[in-house]
A and B are shown apart, each in its own frame.
Chain A
Amino acid sequence: GAVVSQHPSWVICKSGTSVKIECRSLDFQATTMFWYRQFPKQSLMLMATSNEGSKATYEQGVEKDKFLINHASLTLSTLTVTSAHPEDSSFYICRANNEQFFGPGTRLTVL
């Protein structure tokens, strides 16, 4: 079956640094990827929608300059958290345009 992978699965970084998270569709083409954030013991919140070859669309309240999304190919979307701060610590999950396929998630901890 179709699989979505994410890398890294977890990352710890210092405050002020940038972190890139990759989301790949392994055996199908994903024209659209959705990026979600989940704080501990909370639900998933949609951050942005990335479309291959065009600019991402961001949800209200999500800073596009802080969360940079690139969807340069049909199998890869990246989320870069720029100048990360402790409040950005969260579980980031991508989902391909097929609703059943979520990535395994990336746990980001900012010290």
Chain B
Amino acid sequence: ELKVEQNPLFLSMQEGKNYTIYCNYSTTSDRLYWYRQDPGKSLESLFVLLSNGAVKQEGRLMASLDTKARLSTLHITAAVHDLSATYFCAVDRGGNKLVFGAGTILRVKS
């Protein structure tokens, strides 16, 4: 059974600082996703990572994937308040069925 672990579960950051969220998964998968969720809202797609060594960047967020280590990271550069949200990684267990991590609540303080 595929298990997806995220850490940390809660992250309080100062504006301007850098930090990384980690996503480990237990079995081989072809795809890994990162999503953002604002309170009371649905999920917004951030990144899709499809191959070992894949790196994608959008603004202050950068995601990478190491399939050998079964690890993905979401790196936040120079955090701003607008990045405050809950971030989920999700792994395809097959058949396009996603297993989600527990989520990381990010709070950026000014």
Q: Is A34 an interface residue (CB 8 A)?
A: yes
Task: Classify the secondary structure of A's interface with B.
Answer: strand
Q: How large is the interface on A (under 10, 10 to 19, 20 to 34, 35 or more residues)?
A: 10 to 19
Given contacts A99-B48, A102-B43, A105-B41, are A49 and B95 in contact (CB under 8 A)?
Answer: yes
Bound-state CA distance A43–B97 (Å) is 15
Beta-carbon contacts of B65-109 to A below 8 Å, as 1s and 0s? 000000000000000000000001010100111111111000000
Bound-state CA distance A19–B80 (Å) is 40
Beta-carbon contacts of B29-56 to A below 8 Å, as 1s and 0s? 0010100000011110100100000000
CB–CB A43/B42 < 8 A: no
| In the complex, chain A residues whose CB is within 8 Å of the CB of B90 | 44
Residues of chain B at the chain A interface (Cβ within 8 Å)? 31, 33, 40-43, 45, 48, 88, 90, 92, 95-103
**Known contacts A97-B96, A105-B41, A107-B40; 13 further A-B pairs (Cβ under 8 A):** A34-B96, A34-B97, A43-B100, A43-B101, A43-B103, A44-B90, A44-B100, A99-B31, A99-B33, A99-B48, A103-B42, A104-B41, A104-B42
